[in-house]
Amino acid sequence: MGFATDAIHAGQEPDPATGAIIVPIYQTSTFVQDELGKHKGYEYARTSNPTRTALERNLAVLEQGKFGLAFASGMAAITTLLTLFKAGDHIVAGHNLYGGTFRLFERVLKDFGLRFSYVNTTCLEEIEPALGPHTRLIFIETPTNPVMEITDIAAVAEIAHRHKILLAVDNTFMSPYLQRPLKLGADLVIHSTTKYLNGHSDGVGGAIILTDAELAERLRFLQNATGAVPGPMDCWLVLRGVKTLAVRMRQHNENGMAMARFLAHHPKVKKVHYPGLLHHPQHELAKRQMTGFGGMLSFETGSLENAKTLLRSVRLCSLAESLGGVETLISHPASMTHASVLPAERARLGITDGLVRISVGIEDVEDLIADLDQALAKM
């Protein structure tokens, strides 16, 4: 089936008990058994719950994987993924990961003996020298936050597999509508479903999707053993959000492009980071590996003072962390999402004090542009 059809139907049968067309919120902690060892496939809701099963099956189809696992947050998904490894194992990660992922690696998992190296994965030649005999995983995000650098997923998968290493791609920024890492050779896809998959800024969740049955069985064991599972209500909210993923992403693409073009031509904007613009350093790669450029962009206002004035002056765009919702959010990476990154490292990544990030929503784009235009005029 096509993507939009799968988004609405995959993994979701009408409720067998009542015929309800929408998978119910099975708000229960346990399931009655007919006799010892005889049950209907569900025993205890940490292990599995029918609402969660529907979401897991749906996400597996959308990412063109075979298995989906839902978690209580994106960070819970990443934490569980990393429990596949043991002390002494080495992970190579992108140099500009989501701050929470970097914090988990550096301030939590290092204490358990996992070792991490960070490389600029947009430069393929930097990857191989970082690999060692104990490297088990390459973990990347593409595009990166907030400067939208693109890594060639197929090329990294080829390197990883030549060394018998797994490749995990955090696909939160794109959603499966715009990018399917498993098809490009990745072994595991991660999502913060909090973002585009939910799409309505009303829940926190995460997911892992993969094709390998043995790995999936181990992750299923770890999901149950560590217990960071989402409740049925949160699964239901993501399931409902996903039904409109295709139409939402088409509009995010359109609005993102229009906003990027407006900003690129504005005399007060020094630079725009958006993979859909011709001057983006990996525009050709983005065209090849993504089916659209999405709704995330950042731009340079020139100074902290300018950024503050802009953020104070917007009326329709809301100053907030997070992304991927129907409403437009604007933020200041240096003092918000990337505050814990050292200033020198921020400078190296291009995250200046004047950089502003926008998660372009699906409002009428003329209204969004008018809002930014009046805010830029105050700078």
Alpha-carbon distance of 287 to 113, in angstroms, equals 39
The residue among 192 and 289 lying less far from ligand PLP, judged by its C-beta, is 192
> Over the range 364-373, which residues count as b (16 or more CB within 10 Å of their CB) and which as e?
ebeebbebbe
Catalytic site residue 196?
Answer: no
- Report if residue 192 touches ligand PLP, rule: CB under 6 A: yes
Which of positions 246-305 make contact with ligand PLP (CB under 6 A)? none
Q: Which of 6, 42, 52, 98 is catalytic?
A: 98
* The one segment of 25-33, 98-106, 253-261, 275-283 that binds ligand PLP by CB under 6 A: 98-106
- Judged by CB under 6 A, does residue 194 bind ligand PLP? yes
Q: From edge to edge, which strands make up the β-sheet containing 115-119?
A: 67-71, 206-210, 188-192, 166-170, 135-141, 90-94, 115-119
Which position among 24, 100, 185, 302 is part of the footprint of ligand PLP (CB under 6 A)?
Answer: 100
> Cα(222)–Cα(200) distance, rounded to whole angstroms?
29
Could you please report the per-residue DSSP string of 9-48?
HTT-PPPTTT--SSPP----SB---SBTTB-SS-SBTTT-
Interaction between residue 172 and ligand PLP (CB under 6 A): yes
- Site for ligand PLP contains 375 (CB under 6 A): no
Tokens of 292: 């659209």
Q: Is 98 a catalytic residue?
A: yes
Whether 346 is catalytic: no
Asked if 204 is part of the footprint of ligand PLP (rule: CB under 6 A), the reply reads yes
Contacts of 335 (CB under 8 A, 6+ apart): none
Q: Is 144 in the site for ligand PLP (CB under 6 A)?
A: no
Tokens of 103: 């914090």
Known active-site residue 180 = no
Of these residues, 6, 152, 170, 234, which one is catalytic? 170
Residue 73 makes contact with ligand PLP by CB under 6 A = yes
Where on the chain is the footprint of ligand PLP (CB under 6 A)?
73-75, 98, 100-101, 141, 145, 170, 172-173, 192, 194, 204, 206
